[in-house]
Amino acid sequence: MEEIPNFWRTEVFHPLSVHFPIALLLVAFLFKLISLKFKKEVWTQGGSILLLLGIIGIWIAIYTGNLADGIVSRTICDPTILKDHENLAYLTAWLFTAAGVLDFLVFLKLFFINSKMWLISLVTVLIMAAGSGVLMYTGHLGATLVYQQAAGVYTPTSDCAEFN
């Protein structure tokens, strides 16, 4: 008789880790966008902290995604969606990492960028806007992998015998 698999499977760590950076990075973008108009610390520094946490989170999600990829690619029916999901995830991670580097430069207040501080903040927000767009589409592809192809999902037998 089939047994219910252990919940803590390798492929489960990706959905467990991916939602934190999604939320953190989208809210970081909103904070940084607001900080262009309102210079309060809550928006500028709050946005920076969220961005930093989101960047750490997204690279962890990339790592767990790579672990899951090696397993679910053998079972899903259209791995091309997974490949697009993977490529766009890397693009998202690099975009937010680039934004993080620029944000860090502004934080350091280096003498040679002092006069361009506002411009760099604007470029940072624009990169984060692009990153947010790609992030949402990447998330959408991830959702289609789960809800249309059951990626990483255990499908119970038709008579649910393993639950008796």
- Told to check if 76 binds another protein by CB under 8 A, we report yes
> Please, what is the end-to-end C-alpha distance for the chain in angstroms?
11
Q: CB nearer to another protein: give 42 or 101.
A: 101
Q: CB nearer to another protein: give 42 or 126.
A: 126
The answer to whether 69 and 86 are in contact (CB under 8 A) is: yes
- Told to check if 129 binds another protein by CB under 8 A, we report no
Instruction: Mark the segment that binds another protein (CB under 8 A) among 15-23, 32-40, 57-65, 71-79.
Output: 71-79
Residues 149, 22: Cα–Cα separation, whole Å: 22
- Told to check if 45 binds another protein by CB under 8 A, we report no
- Told to check if 154 binds another protein by CB under 8 A, we report no
- Told to check if 87 binds another protein by CB under 8 A, we report yes
Residue among 38, 60, 10, 25 at smallest CA distance from 133:
25
* CA diameter of the chain: 71
Q: Report, in Å, the least distance between residue 11 CB and another protein.
A: 12
Three-class secondary structure of residue 154 per DSSP: coil
Q: Which two tokens stand for residue 76?
A: 């899903």
Q: CB nearer to another protein: give 41 or 118.
A: 118
Binding stretches for another protein (CB under 8 A): 69-70, 73-74, 76-80, 83, 86-87, 90-91, 94-95, 97-98, 101-102, 112-113, 116, 123, 127
